[in-house]
Structure formats: C-alpha cells, structure tokens
A = this chain, B = another copy of it.
C-alpha cells in the first residue's frame, strides 16, 4: 500500500513522530526513514530540517524536555511541602499510559547521552534545572543536606521509572506512588515543616 507523502513539514511535527516511534520500538528504531514514514512525509522533508540523525534527536529531546519542564512548573503546589513535592515528582513516574511512554523515551535519551555529547548537554542542563528547583524548596523549609537530598529525590524517581518501564508488574502505579511518598517523607526528615514555610516557589 502506497501512502501519500508530503514534501514539507515542521520540525515539531517530526519531533512528535520521533517520540511515537521511540515509545513503541525504542530510539534504535527511530531512523530518519521511520520518522519520515510515521510523519507521513518524504525522507527529503526530514533532511530539510535535520542534516543528521543526531540533530533530529537533539531537537526531539529539547522539545520533550521543554514540555516536561513547563508541565512541572504548572503543577498545583498547594498543600504541605510533602504534598507539593509529590505533585511535582509524580509527573516523572510512569503512572499512566502517557507518562509511561514519556518515561521510556526519556530513559532512552538518558542512555544515549552516554555516547552523544549534544544529548548529554541537554540532559545535564535538565537534571541541573530540576535539582536546583528541588534544592530551593528543601533549603527554604530547612532540610538538612538539602542539595544532596534534592539530587537523591530526582535519582530515586528516575530509578523507579527505569525499573518500572521494563517491569510494570513489579512496579504498579499504586506501588510507585507509595514508594515516592516514603522517599519524600525520608527526604523531609529534620526539615522545619512549620505552616509558614508551606508555600513553594513557582
């Protein structure tokens, strides 16, 4: 069956197609040919925007990260610090179909960053941004070792997501939520949780 292919497209449309291919079959399956096919465009239309596969990956990861960081920023942070941290960090856990796909693709990019300096740079900035935001919250409420605990909270969520994407039966959503609750309670040990320090920065 011959599909109709278009000869022009937008980089955003290609990033979405790449995300869909990667969520189904990993980044290894996200060749220029496959992304073009999924986007319904010619290979030349992809090459018009990205001269290499690495360039295409960089754009796709940046798009994914931008969306994720905007979502984290928009999270309702009302309630006590434990509740607010839970609301933010649970965005990164594979608690539903959409977040499972996202966690899978994010982890795939994290692995590929080990062999791609341009992906590593985006990943480094993303981790730094999230760690800094978490640190600020933990410092404001007087948490001991705030910066290290911030990195640990992020690592725990990244690790739970990694462990869960291949073993969903060992890590069902309720379990992941329970585990995140306990990690946050441990992280907040020794913090000053007075009502006046409830508000988190936006």
Contacts and interface: CB of A to CB of B under 8 A. Distances in A.
B182 A110 contact: no
A167 B107 contact: no
A196 interface: no
A103 to B, nearest CB: 9
A163 B28 contact: no
A99 interface: no
A145 B182 CA distance: 9
Interface in A94-152: 104, 107-108, 110-115, 119-120, 123-124, 127-128, 145, 148-149, 151-152
A39 B181 CA distance: 47
A11 interface: no
A26 B110 contact: no
A43 interface: no
Contact of A123 (B27, B107, B166, B179): B166
A124 B151 CA distance: 26
Interface in A164-181: 165-167, 169-171, 178-179
Q: Which of A27, A151, A155, A183 has its CB near the most chain B CB atoms (within 10 A)?
A: A155
A186 interface: yes
Contact of A114 (B120, B166, B189): B166
Contacts of A189: 186, 189
A112 B26 CA distance: 7
A115 B105 CA distance: 11
Q: 10 closest A-B pairs (Cβ-Cβ)?
A: A159-B159, A113-B166, A155-B159, A158-B159, A28-B28, A186-B186, A124-B167, A114-B165, A155-B160, A120-B166
B113 A167 contact: yes
Contacts of A45: none
5 contacts: A108-B111, A111-B111, A123-B167, A158-B159, A159-B161
Given A113-B166, A124-B167, A127-B170, 19 more contacts: A26-B111, A26-B115, A27-B28, A107-B110, A107-B111, A107-B114, A110-B162, A110-B163, A123-B166, A124-B170, A127-B167, A149-B182, A149-B186, A151-B163, A154-B159, A158-B158, A158-B163, A159-B162, A186-B187
